[in-house]
Amino acid sequence: MPSARPTFDLVVAANRLPVDKVVTETGETEWRRSPGGLVTAMESVMRAQPGAWVGWAGDAGDAPEPFEEDGIHLEPVPLSAAEVRDFYEGFSNDTLWPIYHDVIVPARFHRDWWASYQTVNRRFAEAVAEVAAPGATVWVQDYQLQLVPALVRELRPDVRIGWFDHIPFPPVELFAQLPWRAQLLEGLLGADFLGFQRQADARNFVRACRQLLGAATKGDRVAVDHERQVRAAAIPISVDFRGLEALAKRPDVRARAKEIRASLGDPKVLMLGVDRLDYTKGIRHRLKAYEELLLEGRISPPDVTFVQVATPSRERVEAYRLLRTEIEQTVGRINGDLGHIGAPAVHYLHHSYPREEMAALFQAADVMLVTPLRDGMNLVAKEYVTCRYDLGGALVLSEFTGAWHELHQSFACNPHDIEGLKQAILRAMNTPAKDKQRIMRALRRRVSDNDVQRWASRYLAALAAAPERPAPDRYA
């Protein structure tokens, strides 16, 4: 008889496992926890109930055997090199990502990418079905796995299924462009509860079901049939406030923040941008506003300087390669035209940094520029205010981020409006310290009251309470 596989009452499915493979100096393979907020949130949940995490380990080819890490059972799903190209880089990041982010770059549609997306989603659903205990809670994450809810329901009608959308859900006019729009909606409607970053995202989803599937809807509910309805609501994600604040308070991190400022020549104003190098993040618009402020003589290095950290991202997708070239040319031009010896106008860093260094950078920055053209949430904004326990600093925040809906007191901007963005930057620089402290206190309270642990527990409570059957004649 084959040995029984372990099963779990809580199963998370995400494109990536919460660990990264590291090869040590002695050539051994080790797994190191990746430091995302989702992982921290899940740790707190999985301490109370044992859980499994289904995801890709990050290398093309065979998957490692299932293993345990920090009390979480990890169930790796294999992706071939062709699937990394078609499912991940292709359909997820070159079809869905642009459509879900306002088509800032054109979306590309390829039927073989879609075929690969279906194959991989089925593989994830099968892995989930294997490790879910009877009546388990299954929590599927993000846009790469939108078919998984319905596929899991087919295989395991006994489990309760939730899905959370980390990115925006587009207006129906954009979503309707997708040749596979009906299948994607039907995939999601396999869930009992769908969570979104903003109410507007949840509403966009409900409207898409009504207009494109002809589904009956009422408020935040979509009727699937006479037996079942699905609720779509906003539960905005957050950061590990206490953990990150404790890190920011560490003496070595505070000393590093001072050192960063000193190595930049102790500027009067240090501006900071921290993003994945993605066209959604508004880095070009930010650089343009900054360049114009320099050209107009309203700011000048070395008094004012700007550090832009851009994490390498999706470098095999063409739109990302083009963006990188453009950003690096712009930085080169600004420094060539407007920098001085020993005082470049922009310090551009194309690296990933440890959490300690990020916390030190946040503490060193007088003005944090978070200017996406569209962003599901933007955790950088919340991390910045979390690290400013000293109530210093000012946050310039785009209205097109999910975070702005919670952090209204920040210095708001529309990044498309370069003149307005410049004004927001100047306001963030010149507002009296006392007023900025008051703003920072309010922002911090908001994030502290709504941290990532609260997000996970609110989500799981909403999933547990999700209605299974519609009341008769609820729907118009």
Figure out which of the listed residues 245, 366, 375, 406 binds ligand ADQ, where binding follows CB under 6 A: 375
- Kindly tell me which of 67 and 353 has the beta carbon lying closer to ligand ADQ: 353
Per CB under 6 A, does 383 bind ligand ADQ?
A: yes
The two tokens of residue 30 are 């080790």
**Least gap, CB of 335 to ligand ADQ (angstroms):** 20
Nearer to ligand ADQ, 43 or 186 (CB): 43
| Closest approach of ligand ADQ to the CB of residue 82, in Å | 25
Per-residue CA distances from 252 to 265, 307, 331, 382 (Å): 20, 21, 31, 22
Residue 85-104 contact track with ligand ADQ, rule CB under 6 A, x = bound: --------------------
Of 217 and 401, nearer to ligand ADQ (C-beta) is 401
Q: How many Cα neighbours within 13 Å face the side chain of 203?
A: 4
57 binding ligand ADQ? (CB under 6 A)? no
Residue type at position 63:
A
Q: Does 422 bind ligand ADQ (CB under 6 A)?
A: no
Residue 376 or 470: the one with the smaller Cβ distance to ligand ADQ is 376
177 touches ligand ADQ by CB under 6 A? no
Spatial distance between the Cα atoms of 90 and 166, rounded to a whole number of angstroms = 19
The binder of ligand ADQ chosen from 274, 385, 387, 407 (CB under 6 A)? 274
Report in angstroms how near the CB of residue 162 gets to ligand ADQ at its nearest: 15
Question: Minimum Å distance from CB 213 to ligand ADQ?
Answer: 26
Closer of 8 and 411 to ligand ADQ (Cβ): 411
Distance CA 320, CA 313 (A): 7
Positions 315 through 374 that interact with ligand ADQ (CB under 6 A) = 351-353, 358
Q: Contact between 311 and ligand ADQ (CB under 6 A)?
A: yes
Q: Give the range of 130-138, 377-385, 429-437, 463-471 binding ligand ADQ by CB under 6 A.
A: 377-385
Yes or no: say if 412 and 404 are a contact pair by the CB < 8 Å rule.
yes
> Is 76 or 168 the residue whose CB approaches ligand ADQ more closely?
168
The answer to whether residue 118 forms part of the interface with ligand ADQ (CB under 6 A) is no
Give least dist CB 380 to ligand ADQ, A: 4
Distance CA 321, CA 442 (A): 39
Does position 12 interact with ligand ADQ (CB under 6 A)? The reply is: no
Q: Does 245 bind ligand ADQ (CB under 6 A)?
A: no
Judged by beta carbon, residue 13 or residue 379, the one nearer ligand ADQ is 379
Q: Does 273 bind ligand ADQ (CB under 6 A)?
A: no
414 binds ligand ADQ (CB under 6 A): no
Q: How far is the CB of 400 from ligand ADQ (least distance, A)?
A: 11
Min dist CB 356 to ligand ADQ, Å, is 10
Instruction: Quote the radius of gyration of the chain (alpha carbons, Å).
Output: 23
From candidates 12, 289, 364, 379, binder to ligand ADQ by CB under 6 A: 379
Least Å distance, CB 60 to ligand ADQ, is 21
Round to whole Å and give the CA distance between 394 and 244. Answer: 18
Q: Which is nearer to ligand ADQ, 309 or 367 (CB)?
A: 309
Q: Does 16 bind ligand ADQ (CB under 6 A)?
A: no
Shortest separation between residue 353's beta carbon and ligand ADQ, angstroms: 4
- The smaller minimum CB distance to ligand ADQ, of residues 294 and 309, is found at 309
Name the residues that contact ligand ADQ, by CB under 6 A. Answer: 166-167, 237, 274, 276, 309, 311, 351-353, 358, 375-380, 383
